[in-house]
Chains A and B, each alone.
Chain A
Amino acid sequence: MSGIRCRVFVALLFVVLTACPALGAPPIKIGALFSITGPASFLGEPERNTAQMVVDEINRAGGIGGRTLELVTYDTQGDATKAVQAATRLIKEDKVVAIIGPSTTGDTMAVIPLVEKAQIPLVSCAAGIKITEPVKKWVFKTAQNDSLAVARIYEQLKKQKISRIAVLTVSDSFGSSGREQLTAQAKSYGIQIITDETYGPKDTDMTAQLTKIRGTQAQAIVCWGTNPGPAIIARNVKQLGLNIPLYMSHGVSSKKFIELAGDAADGIILPSGRVLVANLLPNSDPQKKNLQKFVKDYQLRYKAEGDHFGGHAWDAVMLLKDAIERGGDSPAGIREQLEQTRNFMGIGGIYNYSAQDHAGLTKDAFVLVEVKEKGWALVK
């Protein structure tokens, strides 16, 4: 009896040992900084989940050149000081070859001097335009610039012959960046912002601002914020019976927004990464295959909708994998190869990095979607 048990044990041991593909070769360490808790957790949580999922997947498929990837993740809590501490730890103690994240523009700007000095490539998941403008040697990013989303909306407004708009933005960094871009680009699209209102991230009633907008000649409202504010605005617009089109930002491109705004979401148009409408895309869309796989995998593992925030992390990990496969695992080699990335089919768009462009996307990274009967429809 004990002989059998012993043999089973040996067999199990054998299985365990061979299941580990690269026993012996040390893993390739990649650092990750996400705001998993705190006010920006809606970014960091799906990003952390996605990054872990993608790394596990790569390892299951045999790693990169026989070596496994190891993801070292720290929580920045959306706090720049903590982000800097964590980045220092990743560089000095964990000795990672590259870092993905942080999730927010503030955190990213805070760690940039560190990675530049330590010469470690950073692939940020934040959207702020100043991360890659001007270009910094070691810093890349995957999230779409706000300016691209604004361009998408203005293009549509121009098509609809709308020239006078009201702008309603949230008074946090996301909203003020949107507001900046909305003001800066208005002229080139022949659009006039006739009233420029803001609201606080924790405000619970925006009828005052909307009543003010109702008294103006605005032909459309463009609202820039993240949940729950825009959902309240959508409800307030319906309450006040304002019948001009309402445009939102990509900050609310998730099912959650429709859930919160309810019937009031109907007819709202917003720019979004393709991930939201993966199944609606024509089969000719080159990103479709990756998008559907990401959505399916995420659903399977986390029982939640994969969103475009998670997509930023997907892109970051896969871009790194791509670069390591081509140029080895030295930080300098990874940076070199990241910059050579061409036509990478990501979740956020099709990436083309170059020495002059470390953001890598065009406004085609966004599609316009309309909320229809609690779901999304592509705006042609």
Chain B
Amino acid sequence: METASQIVQYLLSGLSTGAIYALIGLGFAVIYNATGIINFAQGEFVMLGGMLTLFFLAEMKLPLVPAVMLAILSSTAVGIAFERLAIRPLRNATPLRLVIITIGASILIRGQAMLLWGKDTHALPPFSGNDPLEIAGATILPQHLWIFAVTLLIIIASRLFFHYSIAGKAMRACAYNPRAAGLVGIDVRQMVLFSFVISSAIGSMAGIIVAPLTMTSYDVGGLLGLKGFCAAIIGGMSSGIGTVIGGLLLGILESLGAGLISASYKDAIAFIILLVILFVRPEGVFKKTETERV
């Protein structure tokens, strides 16, 4: 019985970390599909979400809901500025150059955050209480429920958006073939901007819901971004269910690995999975031969 409840605990912990990876991975996938570049500044949006919420809460003394709203809006504004100032002027550059630009942007954003808010780690208050809930011998916090709920909502919303709205369909069209999309009158540049809006918003949301559990500081973006990238790779860079499953899988494997084998290998496990997938199935685990990539 003891082992059973231990396993449940590992699974629940893994699922909650995995959900965050999945959200970050989605951000990667959305931009990749619209532009063909890997946005290595994705992790910084996660950091911005957490730090900005903290800023609006602690320094502007706003209540939680407006603080969260403003944080998402401001991170999105950063995403827009990033696309306008660093990506759009170089639309004819090779993807490699753009990828390197995103790395530069990530260092810049991180540095600015450090100068603005200092190097300290900060904790956000939980959204609704701190009393543990028991599920089958395992315990989770109300904040975990928030993570599951928000992740689920975002997945459903992105599914609806990409499949049932004109803008979403237009973005999918750009992903298939930007040239053809342009020919039928879709403003491809607009769609690129749009992809940055969506992915910075999703990224910052991930940062906000996780901050009460894991705390936040100017440099949380790096490793979280890498894990999210891992999730997106496992999912074959799809901005649908593939990346979500990739993130959850990664989270669960990490947690099981730490619990059953050794915590020292936790990060190693994630990156070994990444390497194996890149070698064996570079197109992603869940990718069928003919699937959409949005």
Residues of A within 8 A of B (CB): 41-42, 45, 171, 197-200, 202-209, 211-212, 214-215, 227-228, 231-232, 235, 238-241, 256, 259-263
A199 touches B17 (CB 8 A): no
A199 touches B132 (CB 8 A): no
A205 touches B119 (CB 8 A): no
Seed contacts A231-B123, A239-B140, A240-B9; 9 additional CB < 8 Å A-B pairs:
A198-B264, A202-B220, A202-B223, A204-B215, A206-B263, A208-B266, A211-B10, A232-B213, A240-B132
Could you list 30 examples of A-B contacts with CB < 8 Å?
A45-B119, A171-B264, A198-B263, A200-B267, A202-B220, A203-B266, A204-B210, A204-B214, A205-B13, A205-B214, A205-B255, A207-B13, A208-B256, A208-B266, A209-B259, A211-B6, A211-B9, A211-B259, A214-B6, A227-B121, A231-B123, A231-B215, A232-B215, A238-B130, A239-B141, A240-B9, A240-B132, A240-B139, A241-B139, A256-B121
Give chain B interface residues in 175-201, CB to chain A under 8 Å.
Answer: none
Chain B nearest CB: distance from A39 CB in Å? Answer: 9
Chain A nearest CB: distance from B226 CB in Å? Answer: 10
Give chain B interface residues in 241-260, CB to chain A under 8 Å.
Answer: 255-256, 258-259
Contacts of A227 in B (CB 8 A): 121
Chain A nearest CB: distance from B136 CB in Å? Answer: 13
The yes or no answer to B217 lying at the interface (CB within 8 A) is: yes
The answer for the CA separation of A242 and B220 in the assembled complex, in Å, is 28
Please judge, given known A-B contacts A204-B17, A205-B214, A207-B13, whether A212 and B132 are in contact too, CB under 8 Å.
no
A228 touches B263 (CB 8 A): no
Chain B nearest CB: distance from A176 CB in Å? Answer: 11
Contacts of B140 in A (CB 8 A): 239
The answer for the CA separation of A238 and B223 in the assembled complex, in Å, is 26
A209 touches B120 (CB 8 A): no
The answer for the CA separation of A322 and B267 in the assembled complex, in Å, is 49
B7 nearest in chain A by CB position: A211
Contacts of A239 in B (CB 8 A): 132, 139-141
B125 nearest in chain A by CB position: A262
The yes or no answer to B3 lying at the interface (CB within 8 A) is: yes
Chain A nearest CB: distance from B270 CB in Å? Answer: 11
A202 nearest in chain B by CB position: B223
Please judge, given known A-B contacts A232-B215, A240-B139, A260-B215, whether A209 and B264 are in contact too, CB under 8 Å.
no
A256 touches B120 (CB 8 A): yes
Chain A nearest CB: distance from B148 CB in Å? Answer: 15
The answer for the CA separation of A2 and B31 in the assembled complex, in Å, is 71
B255 nearest in chain A by CB position: A208
Interface flags, B83-111, vs A, CB<8A=1, else 0? 00000000000000000000000000000
The yes or no answer to B2 lying at the interface (CB within 8 A) is: yes
Contacts of A199 in B (CB 8 A): 263, 266
Contacts of B220 in A (CB 8 A): 202, 204
B266 touches A228 (CB 8 A): no
Please judge, given known A-B contacts A202-B223, A240-B132, A262-B123, whether A209 and B263 are in contact too, CB under 8 Å.
yes
The answer for the CA separation of A225 and B61 in the assembled complex, in Å, is 32
The answer for the CA separation of A208 and B223 in the assembled complex, in Å, is 19
A197 nearest in chain B by CB position: B263
Contacts of A200 in B (CB 8 A): 263, 266-267
Contacts of A228 in B (CB 8 A): 121, 215, 217
The answer for the CA separation of A212 and B140 in the assembled complex, in Å, is 16
Q: Give 4 closest A-B pairs by Cβ, nearest first.
A: A204-B214, A208-B258, A208-B259, A228-B121
Contacts of B16 in A (CB 8 A): 205
Main secondary structure of the interface of B (DSSP, over half): helix
The answer for the CA separation of A235 and B140 in the assembled complex, in Å, is 11
Residues of B within 8 A of A (CB): 2-3, 6, 9-10, 13-14, 16-17, 119-123, 130, 132, 139-141, 210, 213-215, 217, 220, 223, 255-256, 258-259, 262-264, 266-267
The answer for the CA separation of A83 and B227 in the assembled complex, in Å, is 32
Residue among B2, B16, B121, B255 having the largest count of chain A Cβ atoms under 10 Å: B121
User: CB < 8 Å: which of B119, B213, B259, B263 contacts A204?
Assistant: B213
The answer for the CA separation of A42 and B6 in the assembled complex, in Å, is 36
The answer for the CA separation of A17 and B79 in the assembled complex, in Å, is 56
Chain A nearest CB: distance from B183 CB in Å? Answer: 46
The answer for the CA separation of A214 and B122 in the assembled complex, in Å, is 28
Contacts of B263 in A (CB 8 A): 197-200, 203, 206, 208-209
Contacts of A263 in B (CB 8 A): 130
Contacts of A235 in B (CB 8 A): 213
The answer for the CA separation of A29 and B3 in the assembled complex, in Å, is 63
The answer for the CA separation of A167 and B212 in the assembled complex, in Å, is 26
The answer for the CA separation of A259 and B124 in the assembled complex, in Å, is 10
Contacts of A208 in B (CB 8 A): 9-10, 13-14, 255-256, 258-259, 263, 266
Contacts of B3 in A (CB 8 A): 215
Contacts of B264 in A (CB 8 A): 171, 198
B141 nearest in chain A by CB position: A239
Contacts of A202 in B (CB 8 A): 220, 223
The answer for the CA separation of A148 and B264 in the assembled complex, in Å, is 26
The answer for the CA separation of A197 and B260 in the assembled complex, in Å, is 11
The answer for the CA separation of A378 and B256 in the assembled complex, in Å, is 39
Please judge, given known A-B contacts A238-B132, A239-B132, whether A41 and B119 are in contact too, CB under 8 Å.
yes
Chain B nearest CB: distance from A353 CB in Å? Answer: 33
Chain B nearest CB: distance from A128 CB in Å? Answer: 21
Please judge, given known A-B contacts A200-B266, A239-B139, whether A215 and B2 are in contact too, CB under 8 Å.
yes
A205 touches B17 (CB 8 A): yes
Chain A nearest CB: distance from B263 CB in Å? Answer: 5
Contacts of B213 in A (CB 8 A): 204-205, 232, 235
Contacts of A209 in B (CB 8 A): 258-259, 263
Contacts of A205 in B (CB 8 A): 13, 16-17, 213-214, 255
The answer for the CA separation of A204 and B20 in the assembled complex, in Å, is 11
Contacts of A215 in B (CB 8 A): 2-3, 6
The answer for the CA separation of A142 and B267 in the assembled complex, in Å, is 35
The answer for the CA separation of A52 and B5 in the assembled complex, in Å, is 55
